C-alpha cells in the first residue's frame, strides 16, 4: 500500500506542470470509438475498472517506465562488455565472491542486483559450478538463468592439425583458436616428456576453454588408438616405436603424399642407416633453425648440432614433426630398394638414383 501511495504522489508531481494538456488529451482520447469500446468491455467484466480506466492506464505506464529505467541503468549488460570473457565459478565458492567477480569483470552492472535475482529465483544453491563463456553481452536475467541451468556457453572449436606440423607450429595454431590455451605450457610439456612426433595430426573439436595439458592428452590418446593395430608390425620390424616415429617424421617432410613414394624414401633412409651412411636429409634443419632445402647454405651443412644429418650418423635425437598414419606405416614397412638417393623438385615430384652421380644428374635436370 505504501508503495502505491508513493507511486501515486510521484505521478502527481510529474504531471502537475502538464495537467491542462493532459486533461485535454484525456477528454480527446475518451471519446475515441476504440477507447469507448474497450471501456464498455471492461465495464461488462468489472465496472470499477471502467470508471478508473485512465488512472489505471497511467499507473501501468509509470510502472512500465519504472522497470525500463531500472533495466537501462541496472539490469542490462554493461558497456563496454568484455566480449569472449571466461568466468570460473568454483564448487562451494561463496556467493558474494561470485557476484563480486561478475561485477569486477564488468559482466553485470551491480552485484547487489545479481544476488537479489539469484535469491528470488531459487537461491545460490542452484548455481552450477564451472567455466562460463560470454561471447557477447547478456542482461542480468539471462545471467541468472545461465548460472542456474549451467549453460556454459562454449561451442566446440573445430581445429585441423595437418600431418607434418611440429609442436611449435601446432602451438601457434592452437593459441589463435583457443582462449585458455597457454603456448609456453604446451611446448614445455612437449619438451619435458619428449612428445614430439606423438601429437597425432587430425581434426579436433576442442572447447575454447581447454587447457594445454588436456589438448596434449587428447592428441596422445588419438595417437595411441591410431597406431595400436600396428603394434605387432613394429615388433617384427626390429625397431623401437621411438625410432619408427623419428623416421616417420622425416619421411613426412621429405616425401610427397603418395604412399608409394613414402615407402620408397623409407627404404632408402633405412638402407643408409644399415650402411652407416649419414642420412643427409634437409628436413631436420627446419625443425632446428627454420631453414629448408632452398635456403640452406654450405655453412649450415657443416654446423655442429644434433639435427645436422650431414655431419652426424644415425637418427636425430627426436622426431622433427608429427607424422600422419601413412608416414608411420611407411616407416614400419619400407620398400626394399637399390636406390641410395632421392630428391624432389619444387612441384613435389620425386626422383631416385642408385649412386651419387645419378643423383647429380637428377639435380641438374630437375632443379634448374
pLDDT tens-digit map of 105-161:
777 777 777 777 777 777 666 777 777 788 778 777 787 787 777 777 667 788 999
Which pairing describes strands 203-206 and 157-160: parallel, antiparallel, or unpaired? Answer: antiparallel
Structure-model confidence comparison of residues 83 and 325, the more confident one:
325
Q: How confident is the model at residue 293 (pLDDT cuts 50, 70, 90)?
A: confident
Q: How confident is the model at residue 248 (pLDDT cuts 50, 70, 90)?
A: very high
Three-state helix/strand/coil letters over the chain: CHHHHHHHHHHHHHHHHHHHHHHHHHHHHHCCHHHHHHHHHHHHHCHHHHHCHHHHHHHHHHHHHHHHHHHHHHHCCCCCCCCCEEEEECCCCCHHHHHHHHHHCCCCCCHHHHHHHHHHCCCHHHCCCEEEEECCCCCHHHHHHHHHHCCCCCCCEEEECCCCCCHHHHHHHHHHHCCCCCHHHHHHHHHHHCCCCCCCCCEEEECCCCCHHHHHHHHHHHHHHHHHHHHHHHHHHCCCHHHHHHHHHHHHHHCCCCHHHHHHHHHHHHHHHHCCCCCCCCHHHHHHHCCCCCCCCHHHHHCCCCCCCCCCCCCCCCCCCCCCHHHHHHHHCCCCCCCCEEEECCCCCEEEECCHHHHHHHHHHHCC
Give the model confidence (pLDDT) of 51-75 as tens digits.
Answer: 554 555 555 655 665 556 545 545 6
What is the fold, at CATH topology level, of the domain defined by 85-149?
Answer: Dna Ligase; domain 1 (3.30.1490)
Predicted local confidence at residue 97, as pLDDT = 81
Q: Does domain 157-227 have CATH number 3.30.1490?
A: yes
Burial class (CB in 10 A: 0-12, 13-18, 19+), 164: buried
Predicted local confidence at residue 15, as pLDDT = 54
Q: How confident is the model at residue 33 (pLDDT cuts 50, 70, 90)?
A: low
Q: Nearest Cα to 117, choosing from 134, 87, 95?
A: 95
Predicted local confidence at residue 9, as pLDDT = 62
Predicted local confidence at residue 157, as pLDDT = 84
Tell me the β-bridge partners of 353.
341
Predicted local confidence at residue 187, as pLDDT = 95
Predicted local confidence at residue 346, as pLDDT = 81
Q: Are 270 and 277 in contact (CB under 8 A)?
A: no
Give the model confidence (pLDDT) of 262-272 as tens digits.
Answer: 999 999 999 99
Q: Are 164 and 321 in contact (CB under 8 A)?
A: yes
Share of residues in the chain with pLDDT > 70 (%): 76
Give the model confidence (pLDDT) of 7-28 as tens digits.
Answer: 556 556 655 655 555 544 454 4
pLDDT at 166 over 50: yes
Q: In which residue are the cell numbers 594445454 written?
A: 212
Q: Are 273 and 242 in contact (CB under 8 A)?
A: no
Average pLDDT over residues 162-186: 93
Q: Where are the domain boundaries for CATH 3.30.1490.480 in the chain?
A: 85-149
Predicted local confidence at residue 11, as pLDDT = 54
Predicted local confidence at residue 61, as pLDDT = 58
**Which three cell numbers mark 101?**
567477480
Q: Are 250 and 337 in contact (CB under 8 A)?
A: no
Q: Nearest Cα to 293, choosing from 367, 353, 243?
A: 367
Q: In which residue are the cell numbers 644434433 written?
A: 306
The overall average pLDDT reported for the chain is 80
Amino acid at each position: 500500500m505504501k508503495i502505491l501511495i508513493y507511486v501515486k504522489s510521484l505521478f502527481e508531481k510529474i504531471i502537475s506542470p502538464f495537467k491542462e494538456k493532459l486533461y485535454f488529451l484525456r477528454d480527446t482520447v475518451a471519446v475515441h470509438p476504440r477507447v469507448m469500446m474497450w471501456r464498455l468491455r471492461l465495464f461488462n467484466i468489472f465496472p470499477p475498472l471502467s470508471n478508473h480506466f485512465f488512472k489505471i492506464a497511467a499507473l501501468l505506464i509509470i510502472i512500465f517506465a519504472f522497470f525500463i529505467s531500472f533495466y537501462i541503468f541496472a539490469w542490462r549488460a554493461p558497456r563496454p562488455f568484455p566480449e569472449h570473457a571466461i568466468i570460473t565459478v568454483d564448487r562451494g565458492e561463496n556467493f558474494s565472491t561470485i557476484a563480486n567477480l561478475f561485477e569486477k569483470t564488468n559482466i553485470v552492472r551491480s552485484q547487489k542486483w545479481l544476488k537479489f535475482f539469484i535469491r528470488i529465483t531459487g537461491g545460490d544453491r542452484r548455481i552450477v559450478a564451472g567455466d562460463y563463456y560470454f561471447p557477447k553481452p547478456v542482461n542480468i536475467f539471462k545471467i541468472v538463468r545461465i548460472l542456474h541451468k549451467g549453460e556454459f556457453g562454449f561451442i566446440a572449436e573445430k581445429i585441423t592439425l595437418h600431418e607434418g606440423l611440429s609442436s611449435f607450429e601446432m602451438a601457434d595454431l592452437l593459441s589463435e583458436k583457443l582462449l585458455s590455451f597457454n603456448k609456453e605450457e604446451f611446448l614445455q610439456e612437449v619438451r619435458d616428456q619428449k612428445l614430439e612426433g606423438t601429437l597425432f595430426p587430425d581434426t579436433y573439436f576442442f572447447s575454447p576453454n581447454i587447457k594445454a595439458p588436456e589438448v596434449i592428452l587428447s592428441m596422445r590418446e588419438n595417437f595411441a588408438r591410431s597406431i595400436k593395430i600396428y603394434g605387432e608390425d613394429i615388433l617384427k620390424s626390429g625397431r623401437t616405436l621411438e625410432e619408427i616415429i623419428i623416421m616417420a617424421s622425416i619421411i613426412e617432410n621429405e616425401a610427397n603424399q603418395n604412399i608409394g613414394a613414402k615407402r620408397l624414401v623409407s627404404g632408402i633412409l633405412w638402407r643408409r642407416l644399415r650402411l652407416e651412411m649419414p642420412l643427409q636429409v634437409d628436413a631436420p634443419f627446419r625443425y632446428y633453425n627454420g631453414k629448408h632445402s632452398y635456403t640452406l647454405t654450405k655453412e649450415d651443412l657443416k654446423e655442429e648440432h644434433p639435427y645436422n644429418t650431414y655431419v652426424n650418423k644415425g637418427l636425430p635425437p627426436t622426431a622433427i614433426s608429427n607424422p600422419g598414419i601413412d608416414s608411420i606405416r611407411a616407416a614400419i614397412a619400407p620398400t626394399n630398394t637399390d636406390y641410395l638417393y632421392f630428391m624432389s623438385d619444387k612441384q613435389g615430384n620425386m626422383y631416385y638414383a642408385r649412386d651419387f652421380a645419378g643423383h647429380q644428374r637428377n639435380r641438374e635436370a630437375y632443379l634448374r
